[in-house]
């Protein structure tokens, strides 16, 4: 298996623009997690899905953030409109079962100018 795949790896955009981050989890995994990592706040859980259903989105910072998982092999995290304070590395991770090892993707480094 190729592991968790994220795209793009780097994204530079201007304030106010819409940003869409993509994730392909490991086949067979039933949990998918979206995290954000910054120097100030560390690694934060934004939202997670179980069998494509959002379970807990309490970590999503604002209504500008939304996430979807239309099927078991694809998820998106959208920021609209983007702001400079959204600049961070966004990670997607998947696991088989909640209490098991999470496999992380390489991350998307987002810079909002």
Partner 1 sequence: SQELEQSPQSLIVQEGKNLTINCTSSKTLYGLYWYKQKYGEGLIFLMMLQKGGEEKSHEKITAKLDEKKQQSSLHITASQPSHAGIYLCGADHTSGTYKYIFGTGTRLKVLA
What residues line the site for partner 1 (CB under 8 A)?
4, 33, 35, 42-45, 48, 55-56, 91, 93, 98-107
Contact yes or no for 47/66 (Cβ under 8 A)? no
CB of 27 to partner 1, least distance (A): 18
Residue 48 or 65 with smaller CB distance to partner 1: 48
Residue 63 or 99 with smaller CB distance to partner 1: 99
Residue 59 or 80 with smaller CB distance to partner 1: 59
CB of 64 to partner 1, least distance (A): 23
* Alpha-carbon gap, residue 30 to 87, rounded angstroms: 28
CB of 38 to partner 1, least distance (A): 11
CB of 16 to partner 1, least distance (A): 28
Residue 19 or 92 with smaller CB distance to partner 1: 92
Distance of CA 5 to the CA centre of its chain: 11
Evaluate the omega torsion of the peptide bond into residue 8 and state whether it is cis, within 30 degrees of 0: yes
DSSP state letter for 85: G
What single string gives the DSSP state of each residue in 54-82? EEE-TT--STTEEEEEEETTEEEEEESS-
């Amino acid at each position: 298996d190729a592991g968790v795949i994220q795209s793009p790896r780097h994204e530079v955009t201007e304030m106010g623009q819409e940003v869409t981050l993509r994730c392909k989890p490991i086949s067979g995994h039933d949990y998918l997690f979206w995290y954000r990592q910054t120097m100030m706040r560390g690694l934060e859980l934004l939202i997670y899905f179980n069998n494509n259903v959002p379970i807990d989105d309490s970590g999503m910072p604002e209504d500008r953030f939304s996430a979807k998982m239309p099927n078991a092999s694809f998820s998106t995290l959208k920021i609209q409109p983007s702001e400079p304070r959204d600049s961070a590395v966004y990670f997607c991770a998947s696991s088989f079962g909640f209490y098991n090892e999470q496999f992380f993707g390489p991350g998307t480094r987002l810079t909002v100018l």
